Structures are given as C-alpha cells and as structure tokens.
Amino acid sequence: MQYYSLKQHHKTIELVKTAFSSSHRYLAFCYDLNNNEHLRWMIKDTKENRLVGVKGWENNVLERANEIVFYKDRGVFYTKTENRRPNRLYYQEFDKEPEILLEETDPECWVYI
C-alpha cells in the first residue's frame, strides 16, 4: 500500500483522515509526514490500484487542504487552509483545473464541508 511506500522514506508518518467516493472506487487519504500538521492528500483508484493524477496537484499531492468530499466519481470538493484556518472552498474534476466556490475573508470565520 502507499502508506508503506511513504513510511520507507520518512521517520514519522500519521494517516490523519480518509474519504471514499459513493461507489467506493476512489479513496482519498490524508497524511502528515513530519508531525507538523502540514497535511497532504492523495487519491487512489481502488479498481485500477493506482494513484489518481489530478490536474494541478504537484506529484498527485494536494497540500494544505483540510477536508475532501467526493462528488460522484468525477471530482472532489475541498477546503484549503491559509493562516491555520480553512478559508476557501474548491470544486475540481480530476482532469480539470480547480474552481473556487467560496472564499471567506473574515479572519474570525472558517469554511467547512
């Protein structure tokens, strides 16, 4: 599994969160490599047993995202963190660029899905 591959190259790793698509074909998993709360997400296609390449995600990794929710088997909604709070909601189909659906500018407010 991908976790073992990551563990081979890092001293610490914590699997933080997971999310499945409604058909259970896709699994999103969130991990913290250095115990510094710098979260990274990857998506695995369980049918093909491979990581999904998402357009714009560097090395198939989404960094500084707080939550992910699948939309069918086509894409994901996710929140991005800035200044230690989730303040943007995105939607992205796997083969397209992300689009910002909501941006919260008030530093007292957070965005959750």
pTM of the model as a whole: 0.80
Give counts: helices (H), strands (E), the chain.
1, 9
Task: Provide the pLDDT for residue 15.
Answer: 79
Domain boundaries along the sequence of the chain = 2-103
pLDDT at 32: 82
Look at residue 1 in the predicted model and tell me its pLDDT: 46
pLDDT above 70: percentage of residues in the chain: 84
Query: What pLDDT is recorded for position 4?
Result: 47
CA 35 remoteness from chain centre: 17
Higher pLDDT, 36 or 58: 58
Q: Count CB neighbours of 97 within 10 A.
A: 9
CA dihedral sign of residues 89, 93, 95, 99: negative
In degrees, to the nearest 5, what angle opens at C-alpha 45 toward C-alphas 79 and 63? 30
**78 contacts 41 by C-beta, under 8 angstroms:** yes
Higher pLDDT residue, 14 or 10? 14
